[in-house]
Amino acid sequence: MIKKNDHIGIAVKDLDAQVVFYRDILGLEFHGYEELPDRGLKVGIFIVNDIRIELLQSISSDSAIGQFIEKKGEGIHHIAFYSDSVQAELDRLKAAGVKLIDETPKPGAEGMKIAFLHPKSTFRVLLELCQK
Amino acid sequence: MIKKNDHIGIAVKDLDAQVVFYRDILGLEFHGYEELPDRGLKVGIFIVNDIRIELLQSISSDSAIGQFIEKKGEGIHHIAFYSDSVQAELDRLKAAGVKLIDETPKPGAEGMKIAFLHPKSTFRVLLELCQK
């Protein structure tokens, strides 16, 4: 079951410049940087009340974020929902006919387990499920 | 000051089909439909914990959502932050050099006052400010 909106992921080219914008101009609470070498990402994390905003910069030529920016330019990349059991949700959604990118959860930022649904099944919106 | 993330706006072609997906397949709480004839929009509103997801369908050939879909296809359209005073935030951001789409708030869904920042100043992410 989906419990809440966990975060919004934004694909960015220049993470440091965007951190300045979100922190110093918009005035959002900056939670820090995190590197995810396995996914070729450096992440800048903001907390807005109960939701995180993750600015995602590619640090590897073959990362999904790098490919996204090459095709579509920088901008909003995905919406992530929190679930107490991502695997159970994946199984449930698959049984309901939803196409999945990840059949099992993989590691995400902040030690989360994450999985993406396939945009073909979600009207081109990239949706992620995640859990602690 | 920005208080929280208020909603995420998604540009959709077939609102009814997407309501079925978000309500019956994902299992999110459906709050209802609203028509905004002034903005050429029909909106399907979902509530996920404290955040709303607004599915935005164009009902007028010259609506901003219709133009967005024509250029980029359907998908995530904007992120909206809640502020107790949108006008004060607009004035503050303008003074900080941020380009605005709306210099003063206009009517949005659910009786909100809303205003958009210009994507040129926000690294191509369309950001909205809103208040009750």
Chain B CB within 8 Å of residue A85 CB = no
pLDDT of residue A61: 83
Q: What's the pLDDT at A31? A: 97
Q: What is the pLDDT of residue B110?
A: 87
Give residue A50's pLDDT. 85
Q: Assess B1–A contact: CB distance below 8 Å, yes or no.
A: yes
Question: b vs e for B61-84, b when ≥16 Cβ sit within 10 Å of the residue's Cβ?
Answer: eebbbbebbeeeebbbbbbbbbbe
Answer whether residue B100 shows pLDDT above 90. yes
Tell me the domains of chain B and their CATH numbers.
2-131 (3.10.180.10)
pLDDT tens, position by position, B15-29: 999 999 999 999 999
A81/B48 touch (CB, cutoff 8 Å), yes or no: yes
CA distance A22 to A15: 10
Residue A81 to residue B50, Cβ atoms within 8 A:
no
The answer to whether B47 faces chain A, any CB pair under 8 Å, is no
Whether residue B52 is predicted with pLDDT greater than 90 in this model: the reply is yes
Q: Is A40 helix (H, G, I), strand (E, B) or coil?
A: coil
- Chain B residue numbers touching A124 (CB-CB < 8 A): 73-75
A51: which chain B residues are within 8 Å (Cβ-Cβ)?
4-5, 51
Question: Which residues in A lie closer than 8 A to residue B17 (C-beta atoms)?
Answer: 123
Statement: residue B50 has pLDDT above 90: no
Residue A95's pLDDT is 98
- B68 has a pLDDT exceeding 90: yes
Cβ atoms of B6 and B82 within 8 Å: the answer is: yes
Q: What's the whole-number mean pLDDT along residues B53-82? A: 95
Cβ contact, residue pair A81, B26, below 8 Å? yes
Q: Could you tell me what percent of chain B has a pLDDT over 90?
A: 92
Q: Which residues of chain A have pLDDT under 70?
A: none
Tell me if A93 and B25 make a contact (CB, 8 A cut-off). yes
Calpha distance A120→A123 (Å, rounded): 6
C-beta contacts of B84-90 below 8 A and 24+ residues apart:
B84/B1, B84/B3, B84/B131, B85/B131, B86/B113, B86/B114, B86/B115, B86/B129, B86/B130, B86/B131, B89/B1, B89/B2, B89/B129, B90/B115, B90/B129
The per-residue pLDDT for B109 is 87
A residues 92-121 lying closer than 8 A (beta carbon) to B: 93, 96, 98
- Judged by CB atoms closer than 8 Å, whether chains meet at A26 and B2 is answered as yes
- Tell me what the mean pLDDT of segment B3-25 comes to: 97
Instruction: Tell me what the pLDDT averaged over chain B comes to.
Output: 96
* pLDDT at position A112: 95
- Comparing alpha-carbon positions, the chain B residue that sits nearest to A75 is B125
Subunit contact A25:B81, Cβ cutoff 8 A: no
